[in-house]
Amino acid sequence: MDKVLFNLYLKGLFRICIFLLKIASIFDERFEKKISFYRYFKKKKKYKKIFLRLLHQPKMFIFNLPYDSKKLTKKIYNYEMLYLDNQKTNDGHKKVYQSKDDLNNRKEFSKITNYIEDFINKNISIYFENNKLKLIKMWIVITKNLGIMKKHSHFNSDFSGILYVKVDNHKNYKGGLKIHNVMQNIEIYTFSKHKNIFKKKINRKKSFIFKPKKNDLVIFNSYIEHSVVNKNSKIVDRISLPFDMVF
């Protein structure tokens, strides 16, 4: 079944993949969860075969940036529309503020926008045959204690990422970024600053929670569904800068 789906996928026949999975899910519910992967590509632009090969294997990259988060936090709290332009009031999310996704076009956030784009292309383009990614959207997310962001993916980009500006690091904290691993084969590349290399592992769990540290930068395929849980936090605001990128 997987080989058939892969060959259809490379030909851009995503609707047929979805149809076959719907039929298969009648007999085995595990197939139903894979539909979201092909639905993403059905809604996207047409990819060349080389990009379909590159994007088929889900990947997640984790870094910790040497960046001044105090100055960045100050810029965020000085954002003129803070709490006035919440984009997530009607999406079922709870205790979450999200700004408009145009921070990358604003002068006060141009430095961090360029820094992230350059850093990512310098460090991961080798995994995509040196094709470069362009940051097209960036926004602020502030999650309060017990805040929840429902499961979602980003249909209008190729890769999505998050820079964690302010997080709760106490040992009993139960929140984090929940990754819904529908294909159960995400390659996770964690960058070691001391050895200047990536440590690779494959996560085959149905879902897992990534607990970020301050200044962590995580980037993953935009089709990967994810959600946010912020249980028993000891800080008032959990602040992050999510962003979307395209080839």
Question: By percentage, how much of the chain surpasses pLDDT 70?
Answer: 97
Mean per-residue pLDDT, 18-36 = 93
3-state secondary structure of 105: helix
Tens-digit pLDDT profile for residues 82-138: 988 887 666 667 788 999 999 999 999 999 999 999 999 999 999 999 999 999 999
Which strand (E) or helix (H) includes residue 113? helix 110-124
Q: What domains sit in the chain, N to C, each tagged with a CATH number?
A: 2-56 (no CATH), 59-246 (2.60.120.620)
How far is Cα 72 from Cα 199, in angstroms, rounded to an integer? Answer: 28
Check if the beta carbon of residue 130 is closer than 8 Å to that of residue 86: no
Residues facing residue 152 across a β-bridge: 226
User: Which amino acid is it at 20?
Assistant: L
pTM of the model: 0.93
3-state secondary structure of 81: coil
Q: What is the pLDDT of residue 231?
A: 74
Tens-digit pLDDT profile for residues 159-208: 999 999 999 877 777 788 999 999 899 999 999 988 889 999 999 999 99
Report whether pLDDT(9) > 90: yes
Mean per-residue pLDDT, 37-54 = 87
Q: Which two tokens stand for residue 138?
A: 């960036």
How far is Cα 151 from Cα 121, in angstroms, rounded to an integer? Answer: 27
User: Which amino acid is it at 41?
Assistant: F
Q: What is the DSSP string of 135-163?
A: EEEE--EEEEEEEEEEEE--TT-SEEEEE
How far is Cα 242 from Cα 151, in angstroms, rounded to an integer? Answer: 15
How far is Cα 88 from Cα 76, in angstroms, rounded to an integer? Answer: 18
Pairing of strands 176-180, 207-210: antiparallel
Q: What is the DSSP string of 160-189?
A: EEEEEEE----TT---EEEEE-TTS-EEEE
Q: What is the pLDDT of residue 196?
A: 87
Pick the more confident residue, 209 or 232: 209
Q: How many CB atoms lie within 10 A of CB 200?
A: 10
